[in-house]
Structure 1
């Protein structure tokens, strides 16, 4: 495979953590942390969501965009993964996002990222190569590839870890693949230019943000069929799910479209910052956090009242494409 470890700053994680130990371990209460990739300032802003304070700013480089937070078998340590498209690297940070521990060089056009529920592999989309890489983050090597359509963007893994899905923007489709064999299971036509993709907690449905057609496409994963579409604001980017509702960032409209997950009817459109992109949900499901690329801030939305409760300044050009909420 065409992959090299540029540098290892800290030792490798333990090879495995037993499932039994994971169930016995109990973490103390901790506030949620938002890890926000800032493309223009080429860094990562670490935000305490309880206080709204910026804990740290970490230099990344390479115009970082894609972000994912992962654990081994649900237990510590947490790791933070950042994709830098310009330097073609996967940056692996410690669980607090304070230091880059290692960097893995990738060919092509790395962009979207997701982590297997077990903690590895890490999946990265190759925008130019019509593929996903499966990467062992401990060894810093590519261990396999998944063939996709053109320009794979967002990636999501089912909660049971059995399937990985990619939104193939220039093929107007979603690829579903088996995570064990890395073989494709289905390719599903969706709206025009799908970018972000999100899977619900049950692993039953996937939701794509279709940038070109101003829709969200709803997919039944088990049958690989489209079961609905939702109209959005202009240029939807990504989707988050909370409180029985879907939340969609509308880039050109500076809004978040809210829809009912059962009826797929639009409930509201909320004004947020300028050019909203990345979106994720707090651990307790009560807040949705939006990264506003042109406003250099994140917006915090109350899921029940559908109001913006806070704006927090971050770096220059926040994108936060992926699941960016950790502890």
Structure 2
């Protein structure tokens, strides 16, 4: 979301495109095709989108074996800059406005590439140091999603271990790793409450029947404050600007063998309130579910 200009950027994962919408009217203002289609008719996928509201640049990742990032200049006719060979499975994105840095996470020896967000030039990398050989088979981590602490930390969910990794962005060193759960997915930092939120699905590629939840982690001690069990499957996170509302998407099961599968079921959005109401559900604020 570009709040200043009222523009919403919507990613079309399988078709490799981004639509630009007027947030008030819902009208589609433009449609930018990023992914190329090969001879077999397969189109490069896209995954995450980050917006630099100050410059109008929009960053988009593609989790391929070599890793690609596109930079769309919305103030220059949506001109596209393509950056290849970012790194294995370039999936997560985090943009640091103050430092003019774009962090791109995935797997491989250097799990996080650090780019100059103005030029797209690779300036450094952050690594756990655990992977010593190139290639997907040798990669010990897959850092799926990122969240930035303006104070100088970077949070990364590791799909391979189910842990949240915390890095120092100045030194590139690992501060800590916090166990969360199988199928760990998204993370977001709430500076107003000094909390880190993490979703996990409780399921993986071979086990589709697990259920996950929401983890609340103390931003100072990095200790787990609470775990809130949620319906299948907890997914993406967003925090309101005042820090008092957490929005969480829940994806419906697609596997017909899953015990919670329902034909025609819709995905849902949950709203977790952080107010002064009595504690509920293992110390967290009351949870209400809004269904479309």
State if a TM-score over 0.5 links the two structures. Answer: yes
Shift of the 138–245 alpha-carbon distance from structure 1 to 2, 3 Å rule, reads closer
Q: CA deviation at 1:203?
A: 7.0
Q: CA deviation at 1:127?
A: 3.7
List gaps (5 residues or longer) in structure 1. Answer: 1-28, 273-327
Partner of 1:109: 89
Partner of 1:245: 245
1:236 and 1:35 mapped to 2: Cα distance?
A: 22
Map Cα deviations across residues 214-243 of structure 1 (whole Å, 9 max, x no partner): 111111121111111222220111111226
Does the 8 A contact of 1:110 with 1:124 survive in 2? yes
Shift of the 175–203 alpha-carbon distance from structure 1 to 2, 3 Å rule, reads farther
2:48 to 66, 69, 77: 66
1:268 aligns with 2:268: no
Partner of 2:223: 225
1:158 and 1:231 mapped to 2: Cα distance?
A: 26
Q: Larger relative contact order (C-alpha < 8 A, sep ≥ 6)? A: 1
Does the 8 A contact of 2:125 with 2:172 survive in 1? yes
1:89 aligns with 2:79: no
Does the 8 A contact of 2:110 with 2:125 survive in 1? no
2:100 to 100, 111, 120: 120
Shift of the 41–204 alpha-carbon distance from structure 1 to 2, 3 Å rule, reads same
Partner of 2:118: 138
The normalised TM-score by structure 1 is: 0.67
1:170 to 160, 163, 182: 160
Shift of the 204–30 alpha-carbon distance from structure 1 to 2, 3 Å rule, reads closer
2:76 and 2:179 mapped to 1: Cα distance?
A: 37
2:12 and 2:126 mapped to 1: Cα distance?
A: 28
SS in 2 for 1:51: coil
1:83 and 1:97 mapped to 2: Cα distance?
A: 20
- Residue range with higher mean Cα deviation, 89-98 or 108-117: 89-98
Does the 8 A contact of 2:10 with 2:19 survive in 1? yes
2:197 and 2:271 mapped to 1: Cα distance?
A: 13
Partner of 1:325: none
Does the 8 A contact of 1:208 with 1:238 survive in 2? no
Runs of 4+ in structure 1 deviating by more than 6 angstroms, as ranges, are: none
2:12 and 2:75 mapped to 1: Cα distance?
A: 17
Q: CA deviation at 1:126?
A: 1.3
The normalised TM-score by structure 2 is: 0.75
Does the 8 A contact of 1:34 with 1:47 survive in 2? yes
1:98 and 1:182 mapped to 2: Cα distance?
A: 36
Does the 8 A contact of 1:192 with 1:211 survive in 2? yes
Larger radius of gyration between Structure 1 and Structure 2: 2
1:44 aligns with 2:24: no
Map Cα deviations across residues 248-301 of structure 1 (whole Å, 9 max, x no partner): 1111261122222354244322223xxxxxxxxxxxxxxxxxxxxxxxxxxxxx
Query: How many residues matched?
Result: 239
Shift of the 88–241 alpha-carbon distance from structure 1 to 2, 3 Å rule, reads same
Q: CA deviation at 1:97?
A: 8.8
List gaps (5 residues or longer) in structure 2. Answer: 36-43, 129-139, 203-210, 254-266
Partner of 2:58: 80
1:91 and 1:203 mapped to 2: Cα distance?
A: 33
2:76 and 2:230 mapped to 1: Cα distance?
A: 33
